[in-house]
C-alpha cells in the first residue's frame, strides 16, 4: 500500500519511516547531546551540508540551548540518481574559520560515506579544536574517521525522501521521511 501526498506530486510514498513527531523528538535530544559535548569555552559551529540538511540544520540549531554559529558547504555526489556517483563535486566551501572551534558537520544521511570521506581531511586541515559529525540518518554501511558521534536514526536500506532528502530535487518539503515508491515511475 502506498500513500498519496499532494506534496509528492504524481509519485507515491511507499511508507513513512520517521514521522514529524519522531523527527522533532530526536532532534531535540540531539541538540541537548551536542550542547553537553561542547566545552563551555568553545564556540559551537554547525556546518550544514546543503542541500539535504537544511531543514535538519535549522531545527537542530534551534534545539541547541547555547549560542551557535552556522555556515554551509555544498557538495554533490548523487545528481539525479538513487545511487551515489562516487564523484564528489565541491560547489561552495565555508567562509568561517574552523581553527580552535567545536565544529559539527551536519549531514542529512550517511550511506556510502563518499562525501564525508572526501571532506573530513579538508576540515581537519583547518585545525578545529574538535571535529564531530552529526547526521540525521545513518545506513551503517561505512565507518568514518572520526566516527559519527551524533546520529538521529539508523536508516533502513531503502531510498528515502522527505525532510530535506530528495530525488531529483523533489520531495524535500515533505514533513516526514518516507520510502519513495520508485516502481510507479
Which CATH number goes with the domain that contains 52? 3.40.50.2020
**Could you tell me how far CA 87 lies from the centroid of its own chain?**
18
Domain that holds residue 137: 22-78+87-171
Grid cell digits, residue 170: 523533489
Residue 73 in any domain: the answer is: yes
Active site residue 111: yes
At 138, list the grid cell. Answer: 545513518
Whether pLDDT at 44 is above 60? yes
Q: Which residue is catalytic, options 59, 108, 111, 166?
A: 111
Complete DSSP assignment for the chain: --B--GGGTT--EEEEEE-HHHHHHHHHHHHHHHHHHS-TTS-EEEEEEETTTHHHHHHHHHHSSS-EEEEEEEEES-TTSSS--S--EEEE---S--TTSEEEEEEEEESS-HHHHHHHHHHHTT--SEEEEEEEEE--S---SS---EEEEEPPSS-EEBTTB-BTTBSTT-SSEEEE-GGG-
Report pLDDT for 149: 94
In a domain, 6, yes or no: no
Average pLDDT in the 52-56 region? Answer: 95
Answer whether residue 12 is part of any domain: no
Count: domains in the chain: 1
Those residues whose C-beta lies under 8 Å from the C-beta of residue 78, and which sit 6 or more positions away, are: 84, 85
Confidence category of residue 3, pLDDT binned at 50, 70, 90: low
Establish if 53 belongs to a structural domain. Answer: yes
Provide the pLDDT for residue 146: 76
For the cut 70, the answer to whether the pLDDT of residue 12 exceeds it is yes
Task: Give per-residue pLDDT as tens, 130-180.
Answer: 999 999 999 988 888 778 999 999 999 899 999 999 988 889 999 999 998
- Which residues have a Cβ under 8 Å from the Cβ of 136 and sit 6 or more positions away? 23, 27, 53, 56, 107, 108, 109, 152, 153, 163, 164
Supply the pTM of this predicted model.
0.86
Amino acid at each position: 500500500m502506498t500513500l498519496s501526498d499532494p506534496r509528492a506530486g504524481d509519485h507515491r510514498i511507499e511508507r513513512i519511516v520517521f514521522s514529524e513527531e519522531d523527527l522533532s523528538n530526536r532532534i531535540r535530544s540531539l541538540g541537548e547531546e551536542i550542547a553537553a559535548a561542547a566545552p563551555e569555552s568553545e564556540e559551537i559551529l554547525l556546518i550544514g551540508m546543503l542541500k539535504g540538511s537544511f531543514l535538519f540544520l535549522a531545527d537542530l540549531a534551534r534545539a541547541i540551548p547555547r549560542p551557535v554559529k552556522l555556515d554551509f558547504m555544498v557538495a554533490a555526489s548523487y545528481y539525479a540518481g538513487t545511487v551515489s556517483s562516487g564523484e564528489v563535486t565541491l560547489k561552495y566551501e565555508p567562509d568561517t574559520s574552523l581553527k580552535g572551534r567545536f565544529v559539527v558537520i551536519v549531514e542529512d544521511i550517511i550511506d556510502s560515506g563518499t562525501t564525508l570521506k572526501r571532506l573530513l581531511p579538508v576540515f581537519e586541515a583547518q585545525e578545529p579544536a574538535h571535529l564531530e559529525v552529526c547526521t540525521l540518518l545513518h545506513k551503517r554501511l561505512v565507518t568514518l574517521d572520526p566516527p559519527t558521534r551524533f546520529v538521529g536514526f539508523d536508516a533502513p536500506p531503502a531510498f528515502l525522501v522527505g525532510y530535506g532528502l530528495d530525488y531529483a530535487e523533489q520531495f524535500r518539503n515533505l514533513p516526514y521521511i518516507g520510502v519513495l515508491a520508485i516502481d510507479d515511475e
